[in-house]
Amino acid sequence: GIQVEQSPPDLILQEGANSTLRCNFSDSVNNLQWFHQNPWGQLINLFYIPSGTKQNGRLSATTVATERYSLLYISSSQTTDSGVYFCAVSTSGSRLTFGEGTQLTVNP
């Protein structure tokens, strides 16, 4: 099956800093989503982005499908951004395969 690798596994920032999270995948995909898992365990859908670039406030994402990677940018980080960020992909409309996640901690 498809492999999904996320980096870095852990990231600690000071409030106000910017960061880039990376997701590499091993095959062509027709779906790629970024999720934020908050401290209560809820999965919040950030972006559906199988290709191209999208922005939503302080967050933006870029997927380069031909090179099989996606990047999630967080600018001016806030303590509420803390949590685990997951990348998930699927091929041919099949099951979503999740990466291991990036644990982000934003300190005040």
Among 10, 20, 28, 48, binds another protein (CB under 8 A): 48
Cβ distance 79 to 106 under 8 Å? yes
The full 3-state SS of the chain, as one line of letters, equals: CCCEEEECCEEEEECCCCEEEEEEECCCCCEEEEEEECCCCCEEEEEECCCEEEEECCEEEEEEHHHCEEEEEECCCCHHHCEEEEEEEECCCCCCEECCCEEEEEEC
Number of residues that bind another protein (CB under 8 A): 22
Contact call for residue 42 and another protein (CB under 8 A): yes
Q: In the bound complex, what is the minimum distance in angstroms from residue 17's beta carbon to another protein?
A: 25
Q: Which is nearer to another protein, 25 or 35 (CB)?
A: 35
Among 2, 24, 26, 43, binds another protein (CB under 8 A): 43
Among 39, 41, 57, 108, binds another protein (CB under 8 A): 41
**Positions in the binding site for another protein (CB under 8 A):** 30-31, 33, 35, 40-43, 45, 48, 86, 88, 92-101
